[in-house]
Structure 1
Amino acid sequence: MTEAAFEALRAFVAERDWSQFHTPENLAKSISIEAAELLEVFQWGGEVDDAHLREELADVLTYCFLLADKIGADPQQLVLDKLEQTRAKYPADIVRGRSEKYDQL
């Protein structure tokens, strides 16, 4: 997320005085709730409404970015750090084309 997008999100929250409700716990709960709504888009199979899918994904991402901001973490660095950890657990030459968990390889 760009700094301009972060600033727009922070301004949106500030204009509504919602930061007072944005504890890490509440934001984590909101991520889970919105993720369930995202999953609901696929509940019955068939055609997916792309606009609805994008709205629900935006809700999940918004709460993720708010949580990262609240704890003082850079979302991009979080992803890069986790990718490095996962790369060590799942070496490409061993796991290519396989879905087993790392402890079952």
Structure 2
Amino acid sequence: MTTDHLTAAVRAFAEERDWQQFHTPKNLAMALAGEVGELLAEFQWLTPEEAGRVMAAPDAGARVRAEIGDVMIYLTRLADVLGIDLVDAALTKLDEAATRYPVEQAKGSATKR
């Protein structure tokens, strides 16, 4: 499935339920933030090692997968409502980051510029 197919599926889901009236940018951004918070809660208090193995734990892995699904759905819907192409936005941001963090200066360093 492509991002276009996902966008169409999420849009259809909302339209079938007459939810587009509630899908304002503000509401979708707030819902997205809430879902990201639920994803973060799955990692809260885990050590870096435990976090790296979270998908190997059946229950925790299923919860993380579900929360990432929720995040993707809300992000996709928000981008659709705002008329933003997700892939284009991500690739543009990646190009900007490549300029800001050239390999020869950033490799192996977490320092922000």
Q: Which amino acid aligns with 1:94?
A: Q
Q: Which amino acid aligns with 1:67?
A: L
Matched residue, 1:30: 31
Alignment of 1:13-92 (within 5 A): 13-45=14-46, 46=50, 48=54, 49-92=60-103
**What TM-score does the superposition give when structure 1 sets the normalisation length?**
0.90
Q: Which amino acid aligns with 1:100?
A: T
**Deviation at residue 4 of structure 1 after TM alignment:** 2.2
Identity of aligned residues (%): 42
Which blocks of at least 5 consecutive residues in structure 2 are unaligned?
A: 55-59
Whole-angstrom CA distance in 2 between matches of 1:26 and 1:69: 14
**What TM-score does the superposition give when structure 2 sets the normalisation length?**
0.84
Counterpart of 1:10 in 2: which secondary structure? helix
Q: Which amino acid aligns with 1:74?
A: D
**Deviation at residue 53 of structure 1 after TM alignment:** 0.4
Which blocks of at least 5 consecutive residues in structure 1 are unaligned?
A: none
Count of matched residue pairs: 102
Whole-angstrom CA distance in 1 between matches of 2:7 and 2:33: 21
Whole-angstrom CA distance in 1 between matches of 2:93 and 2:28: 20
Q: Which amino acid aligns with 2:7?
A: F
Instruction: Return the structure number with greater relative CO, CA threshold 8 A, min gap 6.
Output: 2
Whole-angstrom CA distance in 2 between matches of 1:11 and 1:97: 44
The answer to which structure has the higher helix fraction is 2
Whole-angstrom CA distance in 2 between matches of 1:100 and 1:37: 28
